[in-house]
Chains A and B, each alone.
Chain A
Amino acid sequence: MKNFRYLVLGALAATALPFVGIVVGAQAQFNSLGRAPAEEGGPLMPPLEPGQAIQGRQVYLSLGCVSCHTQQVRPAGQGGDIAGALGARPSVARDYVLQPVVLLGDRRIGPDLANYGVRAKADADVHLAILHKVGGRDQFGFLYSGANHEIPSERAVMLAAYLRSLRQDYSSPEAPLK
Chain B
Amino acid sequence: MSELPLRSRPLIPGQVASWLAVLALVGAVTAASVAAFLHFRTGVSPEAARRAQQVALRAETEAKASTLLASSAKNDDGTYRIPLNEALRIAAERPEVLGKLAPAVAPAAPASSAPTAFVPADEATLKRGQAVYARTCIACHQPTGMGLPPVFPPLVESPLVTGDPSLSIKFVLHGLMGPVTVKGITYNSMMPPVMGVTDQDIADVLTYVRQSFGNKASAVTVAQVKAVRDAASGRTVPWNTAELGIK
Q: Can you list, as one digit per residue, whether each of B156-194 has a CB less than 8 Å from chain A (1) or not (0)?
A: 000000000000000000000000000000000110100
Assess whether A31 is in contact with B140, with CB atoms less than 8 Å apart.
no
Interface check A123, CB cutoff 8 A: yes
Name A51-89 residues within 8 Å CB distance of B.
51-52, 54
* Interface status of B45 (Cβ within 8 A of chain A): yes
* B139 (CB) vs chain A CBs: closest residue: A51
For chain B residues 39-82, which have a beta carbon within 8 Å of chain A? Answer: 40-43, 45-47
CA of A111 to CA of B202, assembled, Å: 38
Count of B interface residues, CB-CB < 8 Å = 30
Q: Would you call B233 an interface residue if the criterion is a C-beta within 8 Å of the partner chain's C-beta atoms?
A: no
Distance from B35 Cβ to chain A, minimum over Cβ atoms (Å): 10
Instruction: Count residues of A near B (Cβ-Cβ below 8 Å).
Output: 33
A50's partner among B43, B139, B196 (CB-CB below 8 A) is B139
- B151 close to A24 (CB less than 8 A): no
Chain B residue nearest in CB terms to A55: B139
Contact with B along A141-178 (1 / 0, CB 8 A): 00000000000001001000100100000000000000
Contacts of B47 in A (CB 8 A): 35, 97-98
| A128 CB-CB contact with B under 8 Å | no
Cα–Cα distance between A24 and B64 once the two chains are bound (Å): 43
A28 within 8 A of B: yes
Task: Give the distance to chain A from B150, nearest Cβ to Cβ, in Å.
Answer: 5
Residues in chain A near residue B36, CB distance under 8 A: 20, 24
| Chain A contacts for B22, CB-based, 8 A | 8
Contact between B43 and A32, CB atoms less than 8 A apart: yes
A47 interface residue per 8 A CB criterion: yes
Shortest distance in angstroms between B214's beta carbon and chain A's nearest beta carbon?
23
A27 to B36, CA, bound (A): 10
Minimum Cβ distance to chain A for residue B98 (Å): 27
The reply to whether B139 and A12 contact each other, CB–CB distance below 8 Å, is no
In chain B, residues 102-157, which have Cβ atoms closer than 8 Å to a Cβ of chain A? Answer: 136, 138-140, 148, 150-152
Interface residue? A122 (CB, 8 A): yes
* A161 proximity list for chain B (CB < 8 A): 192
**Interface 0/1 of A4-34, CB less than 8 Å to B:** 0000110010011001100110011001111
Q: Is the CB of B151 within 8 A of A51?
A: no
Residues A31 and B40 in contact in the complex (CB < 8 Å), given A43-B150, A43-B151, A50-B140: yes
Q: How far is the CB of B195 from chain A (nearest CB, A)?
A: 6
Residue in A8, A50, A97 whose CB lies within 8 Å of B192: A50
Beyond A122-B237, A124-B236, A154-B195, is A12–B45 a contact (Cβ under 8 Å)?
Answer: no
CA distance A152 to B206 in the complex (A): 25
B26 at the interface (CB under 8 A from A): yes
Which of B37, B152, B236, B237 contacts A27, CB < 8 Å? B37
* Cβ-based interface call for B29 (8 A): yes
Contact B189 A50 (CB under 8 A): yes
Q: Would A24 and B140 be within 8 Å (CB), given that A32-B43, A154-B196 are in contact?
A: no
Given A54-B139, A154-B196, A24-B237 contact (CB < 8 Å): no
Q: How far is the CB of A169 from chain B (nearest CB, A)?
A: 14
Give the complex CA separation of A95 and B94 in angstroms: 37
Which residues from A are CB-within-8-Å of B46? 34-35, 44, 97
Which residue in chain A gives the minimum CB-CB distance to B137? A51
* Chain B residue, CB-CB nearest to A29: B40
Q: Does B33 contact A (CB under 8 A)?
A: yes
Known pairs A16-B33, A31-B40, A34-B46; A51 contacts B140 (CB<8 A): yes
Top 9 nearest A-B pairs (CB, nearest first) are A51-B139, A32-B43, A34-B46, A28-B40, A27-B40, A12-B29, A31-B40, A24-B36, A43-B150
Since A27-B41, A34-B45 are in contact, a sample of 6 more A-B pairs with Cβ atoms closer than 8 Å, ordered by chain A residue number, is A35-B47, A43-B151, A47-B189, A48-B151, A48-B152, A97-B46
